[in-house]
């Protein structure tokens, strides 16, 4: 946990992610990245020199018309004194039943973002923390390059002027493998995704491609991030 926490603090400091008086909504899907982020933010709150508030938000897609069970996430929030909100949504019904999307991820992401922004504002938050890590950044860069011919990625910090909200990504210097180890060691609760498109996405293709490239080009992920920082791509 200490290694993960040090990398989180390094990202927060480098990109000025947190200011005194911030109220930050941690987006918790129930997957390993989001619960690790939640735990790290709770730990960071204890000693970070700038005081900030936390709350946690889960958007339940209600897969197959059923409410998700987030009771273990609720327990984790209670243990760490973090207010928790579960918002039941119609995402599954709209995307898979009504529209029958063949490539659902893009639409789902847009709809989730809108719901998350609105919920954060309702809770009085000025920032939202998302659980994207270093591997996600490298994969996103390749997805944009191969699919759209654009040298772009999500930004460590981005501002949404329409909602007056900041998106911060405190895990961007952490590796997925390190997150997995911390989740196991800390016995953090995971809510397995019931999404019909899970592990059958363009992102999964990029993940496998990077694994293959790593065999020939060691540290390829770090090199991609370094190139984005050197070139100031997407404010890296």
Give residue 62's domain range: 2-235
Task: Render pLDDT for 5-32 as a digit per residue (tens, 0 to 9).
Answer: 999 999 999 999 999 999 999 999 999 9
On the question of pLDDT at 90 being above 90, the answer is no
Task: Render pLDDT for 179-228 as a digit per residue (tens, 0 to 9).
Answer: 999 999 999 999 988 877 766 577 888 999 999 999 999 999 999 999 99
Among 34-43, 94-103, 120-129, 160-169, name the one with the lowest average pLDDT: 94-103
Task: Render pLDDT for 125-146 as a digit per residue (tens, 0 to 9).
Answer: 999 999 999 999 999 999 999 8
**Span 72-93, average pLDDT:** 94
Long-range contacts of 46-51 (CB under 8 A, 24+ apart): 48/9, 48/12, 48/18, 50/18, 50/19, 50/20, 50/22, 51/20, 51/21
CATH number at 89 reads 3.40.50.620
If pLDDT is split at 50, 70 and 90, which confidence band does 81 have? very high
- Residue percentage of the chain with pLDDT more than 90: 78
Total domain count, the chain: 1
Q: What is the pLDDT of residue 199?
A: 60
Strands 22-27 and 127-129: parallel
């Amino acid at each position: 946990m200490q290694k993960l926490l040090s990398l989180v603090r390094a990202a927060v400091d480098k990109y000025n992610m947190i200011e005194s008086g911030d109220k930050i909504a941690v987006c918790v899907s129930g997957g390993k990245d989001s619960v690790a982020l939640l735990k790290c933010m709770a730990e960071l709150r204890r000693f970070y020199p700038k005081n900030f508030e936390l709350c946690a938000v889960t958007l339940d897609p209600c897969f197959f018309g059923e409410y998700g069970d987030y009771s273990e996430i609720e327990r984790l929030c209670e243990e760490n004194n973090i207010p928790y909100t579960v918002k039941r949504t119609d995402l599954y019904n709209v995307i898979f039943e009504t529209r029958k999307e063949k490539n659902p991820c893009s639409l789902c992401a847009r709809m989730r973002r809108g719901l998350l922004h609105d919920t954060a504002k309702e809770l009085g938050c000025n920032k939202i923390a998302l659980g994207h890590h270093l591997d996600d950044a490298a994969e996103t860069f390749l997805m944009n390059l191969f699919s759209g011919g654009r040298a772009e990625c999500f930004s460590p910090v981005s501002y949404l002027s329409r909602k007056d909200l900041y998106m911060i990504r405190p895990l961007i210097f952490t590796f997925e493998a390190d997150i997995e180890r911390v989740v196991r060691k800390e016995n953090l609760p995971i809510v397995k995704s019931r999404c019909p498109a899970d592990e059958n996405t363009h992102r999964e293709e990029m993940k496998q491609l990077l694994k293959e490239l790593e065999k020939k080009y060691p540290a390829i992920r770090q090199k991609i991030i370094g190139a984005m920082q050197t070139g100031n791509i997407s404010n890296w």
